[in-house]
Amino acid sequence: MTDNLLMLYGLIFVAALLGVDTLLRILTRSARSRRDVSNRLENIRQNSKGKMEPHIELLRSRGLASRAGEIDISNSASRFLGQTGIRISVPRMAAYLLAFIFLGFVIGRLVVGVTGVFQMVFAIVFGLGLSYGVLWWRRSRRIKAFTNQLPDALDVMVRSLNAGHPLNSSIALVAREMPDPLGSEFGILNDQMTFGAELETAMINLYNRVGASEVNMVTVSVSVQRGTGGNLAEILTNLSQMIRDRLMLKRKILAISAEGRITAWIMLLFPFGLYYMVKFLVPTYFDPLWETGYGPHVVFGCLVGIFMGMIVIRRLVNFDY
């Protein structure tokens, strides 16, 4: 009965947290949008007094610039969070982390069966691991979407340059025509250049916001071209084709290493599936293990072994290219 109440309270807590967060997002979305537009128009009206503020407001709206209670991109952790594209404040992030830890606390007690210090350690590791996993998944998905759009964006820039438009206009055209996430990132890039930032600085900021290595290639190519001269349209054309070939090679590598990655998932899930299958067929089978007091130690050792095996397989199926 106590375990059922604990699970019920945990589910109620998580549901209430998600409901309040959704309500706050709905209530603050329109007000934040109106405030950003007003600040942008006011800074343009003041001309030199606020030249760099519009793009800073855009960065702030996505958690990439400092503001009271929000995250700055001054270190690797905040840069990683910014590359996910998630708009989140420090209090909200802390609330989600506490919710995940509490969920791990409940799972550790009801599912894994650990208690005391081991339950607390499991809850913390579960909460931190789940938080990092969600952020890593969002970041990987966003980088993949940006990289897939980048060759087409470079082709748009090449056609614009061949038509006689300057580089700033070509970047603005990409920002208008391409969907997110590339469109919004190039929009911030165009705003930074419009309000006084150097091209090299704006491109480096773009790479820091996105995190894709292909963006670094574009940054280096554009910087070298501006320093040494040359046909920028031809450079971007070759770069676009190279990125397409790189994406094709990446997909081939994923196909070749599919067997190894499936093996990794089987090794990860099989011990848990076997444990619960045996427990379902013979509920008292593992009781002697828990009664002797060695159960938490065995579980911890198994988790460490599974984690080390996942690391080894990951190194085997990952290729540098």
pLDDT recorded at residue 131: 87
Q: CB burial class (10 A; 0-12, 13-18, 19+) of residue 251?
A: exposed
Evaluate whether residue 237 is within a structural domain: yes
Contact 105, 123 (CB under 8 A): yes
Looking at the fold, whether 6 and 105 belong to one and the same domain comes out as yes
Q: What is the rounded distance in angstroms from the CA atom of residue 35 to the CA atom of residue 57?
A: 10
User: Is 51 inside any structural domain?
Assistant: yes
Please give the Cα distance from 71 to 94 (Å, whole number): 12
Same domain, 161 and 185: yes
Residues 267 and 168 in one domain: no
Structural domain total, the chain: 3
**CA neighbours within 13 Å on the CB side: how many for 101?**
11
Pair 38, 87 in one domain: yes
DSSP 112: I
pLDDT of residue 147: 92
Q: Are residues 283 and 198 in the same domain?
A: no
**What pLDDT is attached to residue 74?**
46
Structure tokens belonging to residue 13: 């807590």
Tokens representing 125?
Answer: 């590791």
Q: Please check whether residues 49 and 85 belong to one and the same domain.
A: yes
Low-confidence ranges of the chain (pLDDT < 50): 1, 40-41, 43-55, 57-58, 60-74
Question: Can you tell me the distance from the alpha carbon of 51 to that of 69, in angstroms, rounded to the nearest whole number?
Answer: 24
Residues 18 and 69 in one domain: yes
Whether 151 and 223 share a structural domain: yes
The reported pLDDT for the residue numbered 242 is 93
Residue 292 covered by a domain:
yes
Q: Is the pTM of this model over 0.85?
A: no
Domain end (from 213, 242, 271): 242
In this structure, the answer to whether residues 307 and 204 fall within a common structural domain is no
The last residue of a domain, from among 212, 242, 272 = 242
Say what the pLDDT of residue 68 is.
39
pLDDT tens readout for residues 3-41 = 566 666 666 666 666 665 666 565 555 555 555 555 544
What one-letter code names the amino acid at 179? P
Q: What is the CA radius of gyration of the chain?
A: 25
Say if 62 falls within a structural domain. Answer: yes
Same domain, 208 and 261: no
**Domain for residue 136, yes or no?**
no
Q: Are 105 and 181 contained in the same domain?
A: no
Q: Among residues 242, 267, 302, which one ends one of the domains? A: 242
**284 located within any domain:** yes
Residue 232 included in any domain: yes
Report the alpha-carbon distance of residue 233 to residue 157 in Å, rounded.
Answer: 8
pLDDT in the model for residue 146:
93
Q: Which range of residues forms the domain containing residue 302? A: 257-317
- Residues 237 and 309 placed together within one structural domain of the fold: no
Write down the pLDDT at residue 114. 67
Q: CA 76 from chain center: how many Å? A: 13
Helix segments in 163-231, DSSP class H: 167-177, 182-194, 199-210, 213-228
* Residue 128, domain member (yes or no): no
